[in-house]
Amino acid sequence: MTLGLRGRMTVTAVAATATALVVVLALEGPDLHRRAVEQVRATLFAEARLMARVVAQPLAEGRPSGEIDALVDEAAREVGARVTIIAPDGTVIADSALSGEALRAVENHRNRPEVQGALVSGAGSSVRHSTTVGDDLLYAAVAIRSQERLVGVSRVALSLAGVEGQIDDLQRAVTVALAVAFALIALLSAAFSSSLAGPLAEVMDAARRFATGDLAARSPVRRSDEIGELARILNRSADQLQQRITEIARDRARIDAMLSAMEDGVIAVDHRGAVLLANQALRASLGLHEPVGRHYLEVVRQREVGELIEEVLRAGARRVDEVEMLRGGRTYAVIGVPFPGPEGQPPGAVLTFHDVTERHRVERVRRDFVANASHELRTPLTSIRGFVEALEDGAMEEPATGRRFLEKIRLHADRMAGLVSDLLELSRLESGERAPSWEPVAPAEVAEDVAASLAGAAERKRVALHRADHGAPTVVSDADRLRQILENLVENAVKYTPAGGRIEITTRRAADGGAEVVVADDGPGIPPEHLPRIFERFYRVDKARRRELGGTGLGLSIAKHLAEGMGATVSVESQPGRGTRFTVTVPPGRAGRTA
């Protein structure tokens, strides 16, 4: 009768089990002796250490050999092995098998391998034939120390005859088992291997290839019995699994692409708070390192974020908050929503981090700008209205007074016109309406022109204005922009440098091959806390003195935007009481914006 799949698989399983047993026993057989010896060695080391504790104090106190030998003889009865106590110089002090003259006649043991090992490294062992006992002995020796001082060596020896007997019995049993197993396997293999080995090998090979990542692997179907049906089922499962893996990979790639492209940070945690996902934007902005798998408290150490996550996990509802992060100091609009967890588990939470730092800064700048512009326009308007009212009240009847009032009105009107002109210029620069006009420019010539045009103002202020050129090269830049930048810087220097002061305009070669123009004065200087904001619109170091000297408060801001528009930079160095130094660095070629 032909066996079905169950019968054949049962028989094959028996054969496979027998084969596995044979292989295991064959592999373990050579190791039995080693493991048995190692087990005995470990026991002897433990007994040697025990004996070392027993005799350490007497050895340290220098008690007689006979007293120590008696102590060893008594303790060795509990050990069941031969115990020998050896002095550091190799002299045998005590031995559980010898006493009296026999003990004193024992040769020096210093060169014994186990004793050498104990003296050098604290423990030593060896196996050798004993002529006294007439059998192989296993020796284990440990150093005896008292208060970190070496006082001797404790050695324990045991015959391996008993261990060898056990190993021989086990090897005989293994031999019988192997013989029976091999006989059984031979009979079963002859009967069934021809009908099962080939088809099953093909199925197994296809399954193995598929498991290692070869998704195209399929098992050929050549039979109509259970093995053929198994091959068809495996092939269908492989088709479905390949399709599902492809869909999952495609979905994962889309999600990864979307998360990577997002500027907002995204983090997802499960119901226990373990991080499941953190996109690149969040890792970069918060400086996260390997966040996945860790608890969110280890990853985002921010109380407000933790409270928001806990609230989303607890309430299962959308929550919104705005958080200023301790790390980096940036502000984020954080939105948390729940997301379904695996079947049978509570939902997790997804948080998005939208950086609103720049929006807040722009809003603050806008508010400051509106307030400053309103203030700057309201001041001259108030003065003009006051002079007009005075004229209406009868000042026109006095020509000299009326003329003086009209001059004041013109002065304030000119100030308003200058402010509006500067605001329009700043707006054009920020919007990119005024593109640079690229041409070869000699910075030394531009600086010379600016110095000549402002020489009269400096002379009226009794300020010395000097020019110096140290080989500034010709660059490709915008001459008008450079001229306007230098005019603003030199005008400021003239305004703030007291009478008798000095202003120097220096041109020279920059480190990158471009040109540097330095405007330095020996005026009152700028306190360090004001330097970071000196280029902001309407920013005044000394508000009262700034209005007294005139100006719109936009000159430095315009100079900064003019420089950036043509790829140049403007920097400032200053110390109170030691003057101020502005440096305009112009690159050698066309490196700025073109619009």
Phi, psi at residue 65, to the nearest 5°?
A: -60, -40
In CATH, the architecture of 7-165 is 2-Layer Sandwich (3.30)
- Fold topology of 435-586: Heat Shock Protein 90 (3.30.565)
Question: In this predicted structure, what is the pLDDT of residue 5?
Answer: 45
Residue where the block lists tokens 């640079």: 436
Question: In this predicted structure, what is the pLDDT of residue 26?
Answer: 64
| Cα 107 to Cα 89: distance, rounded to the nearest angstrom | 12
Instruction: Categorize the per-residue pLDDT at 442 as very low, low, confident or very high, splitting at 50, 70 and 90.
Output: very high
Q: Is pTM, for the whole model, over 0.75?
A: no
Instruction: Categorize the per-residue pLDDT at 4 as very low, low, confident or very high, splitting at 50, 70 and 90.
Output: very low
Can you spell out the DSSP letters for 357-373? HHHHHHHHHHHHHHHHH
| Cα 583 to Cα 446: distance, rounded to the nearest angstrom | 15
Averaged pLDDT for residues 213-217: 73
Ranking 254-268, 359-373, 556-570 by mean pLDDT, the lowest is: 359-373
Instruction: Categorize the per-residue pLDDT at 328 as very low, low, confident or very high, splitting at 50, 70 and 90.
Output: confident
Averaged pLDDT for residues 390-400: 74
CATH 3.30.420.10 assigned to 360-429: no
Q: How many angstroms from the chain centroid is the CA of residue 555?
A: 44
Averaged pLDDT for residues 206-220: 75
Question: In this predicted structure, what is the pLDDT of residue 210?
Answer: 72
Asked whether residue 55 carries a pLDDT value surpassing 80, the answer given is yes
| Cα 346 to Cα 10: distance, rounded to the nearest angstrom | 45
- What are the structure tokens assigned to 534, written together? 């000196």
Averaged pLDDT for residues 504-513: 93
Q: Where are the domains of the chain?
A: 7-165, 262-355, 360-429, 435-586
Same fold, 7-165 and 262-355: yes
Query: In CATH, what number does 262-355 get?
Result: 3.30.450.20
- What are the structure tokens assigned to 535, written together? 């280029």
Asked whether residue 252 carries a pLDDT value surpassing 70, the answer given is yes
Question: In this predicted structure, what is the pLDDT of residue 177?
Answer: 72
Question: In this predicted structure, what is the pLDDT of residue 392?
Answer: 74
| Contact predicate 310/294, CB 8 Å | no
Averaged pLDDT for residues 324-329: 80
| Cα 176 to Cα 183: distance, rounded to the nearest angstrom | 11
- What are the structure tokens assigned to 180, written together? 């029976």
Question: In this predicted structure, what is the pLDDT of residue 283?
Answer: 86
**280-301 tens-digit pLDDT:** 888 888 888 888 989 888 888 8
Question: In this predicted structure, what is the pLDDT of residue 226?
Answer: 72
Question: In this predicted structure, what is the pLDDT of residue 260?
Answer: 72
Mean pLDDT for the chain?
Answer: 80
Instruction: Categorize the per-residue pLDDT at 468 as very low, low, confident or very high, splitting at 50, 70 and 90.
Output: very high
| Contact predicate 517/510, CB 8 Å | no
**pLDDT cut 70: percent of the chain above it:** 78
| Cα 289 to Cα 327: distance, rounded to the nearest angstrom | 14
Instruction: Categorize the per-residue pLDDT at 592 as very low, low, confident or very high, splitting at 50, 70 and 90.
Output: very low
Asked whether residue 74 carries a pLDDT value surpassing 50, the answer given is yes
Ranking 144-153, 205-214, 296-305, 322-331 by mean pLDDT, the lowest is: 205-214
Question: In this predicted structure, what is the pLDDT of residue 78?
Answer: 73
**111-156 tens-digit pLDDT:** 889 889 988 898 999 988 776 667 778 889 999 998 888 889 999 9
